[in-house]
Amino acid sequence: MIANNIFRVIGDVFTNSLFAPFNALKSADNWWISNIPNFVFIAIFFVLLGYWMNESVKFKKEGTEDLPK
């Protein structure tokens, strides 16, 4: 019974509080407002991709990208 209550509380926390902003965005009438989380995730992806490519170029210039272990 205790384990059941723990999982019920975890479910309530996610359903009622953590997903509330997404439920509000889901009911928005404007397409641009509804897709704000997607745009944020895409922007984060491109920033991290740029960082990764910059580091890759740096290691390639140093000649340390394929050193044996």
pTM of the model: 0.65
Is a pLDDT exceeding 80 seen at residue 66?
A: no
In the prediction, which pLDDT does 28 show? 83
- Residues 19, 12: contact at Cβ < 8 Å? no
Sign for the pseudo-dihedral over CA of 47, 26, 24, 21: negative
How do the domains of the chain map onto residue ranges? 2-62
| Local confidence band at 67 (pLDDT 50, 70, 90 cut-offs) | low
